[in-house]
């Protein structure tokens, strides 16, 4: 990949502002997709798509209504749902993504390692696969992604009270499944 030539121009404040959001959250968003996809190219493209959509909706982001992290995870969830719907319809899901970019060999290795790192997360998701989707993701965002319940509620577009109920149910069901019969 050809990187743009370095210049002495001062950084654009708006770009620097979004870069701070990107740098603080890209690892978490990548891990979110690494728990769902075994292919580095898919993880990369879904991560890229999330940030492309975030840039497109930057004007509607209001930090008073929730953190950037909650906002990005909400976008990531929709990106993944759309990706699954396209795949279910037989479309070439990855190539259709606006954020598609062919990975270099070293990036493939790096993302393959990250996918391996999410083994425990994938196992947790498999254990709760029978739960409703919103309870599964609520548990994941709080237990694995480290979001506060209020942030997870924002990402899932439910009230904090509803999120607590979902979390409580998910944890209770998980405990019951772990108890010896």
Binding stretches for another protein (CB under 8 A): 1, 3-4, 12, 14-15, 17-27, 30, 44, 47-48, 51-52, 55-56, 58-64, 66-69, 71, 101, 103-104, 106-107, 110-111, 142, 146-151, 153, 159-162, 164, 167-168
Q: How far is the CB of 115 from another protein (least distance, A)?
A: 12
Q: How far apart are CA 80 and CA 85, in angstroms?
A: 9
Shortest distance, position 89 Cβ to another protein, whole Å: 27
Please say which residue, 48 or 118, places its beta carbon nearer to another protein: 48
CA torsion through residues 174, 175, 176, 179, sign: positive
- From the CB of 17, what's the least distance to another protein, in Å? 6
**Which CB sits closer to another protein, 13 or 90?**
13
Query: What's the closest the beta carbon of residue 88 comes to another protein, in angstroms?
Result: 27
- Within 8 A by CB and 6+ apart from 26, the residues are 47, 51
């Amino acid at each position: 990949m050809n990187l743009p030539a370095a210049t002495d121009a001062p950084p654009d404040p708006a770009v620097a502002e979004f870069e701070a959001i990107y740098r603080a959250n890209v690892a978490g968003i990548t891990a979110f997709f690494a728990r769902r996809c075994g292919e580095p190219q898919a993880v990369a493209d879904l991560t890229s798509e999330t940030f492309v959509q975030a840039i497109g909706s930057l004007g509607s982001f209001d930090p008073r209504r929730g953190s950037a992290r909650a906002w990005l995870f909400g976008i990531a969830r929709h990106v993944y749902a759309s990706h699954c719907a396209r795949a279910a319809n037989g479309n070439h899901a990855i190539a259709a993504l606006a954020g598609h970019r062919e990975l270099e060999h070293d990036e493939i290795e790096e993302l393959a390692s990250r996918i391996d790192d999410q083994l425990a997360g994938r196992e947790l998701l498999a254990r709760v696969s029978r739960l409703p989707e919103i309870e599964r993701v609520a548990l994941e965002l709080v237990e694995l992604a480290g979001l506060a319940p209020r942030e997870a509620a924002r990402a899932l577009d439910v009230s904090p009270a509803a999120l607590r109920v979902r979390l409580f149910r998910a944890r209770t069901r998980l405990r019951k499944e772990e108890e010896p019969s």
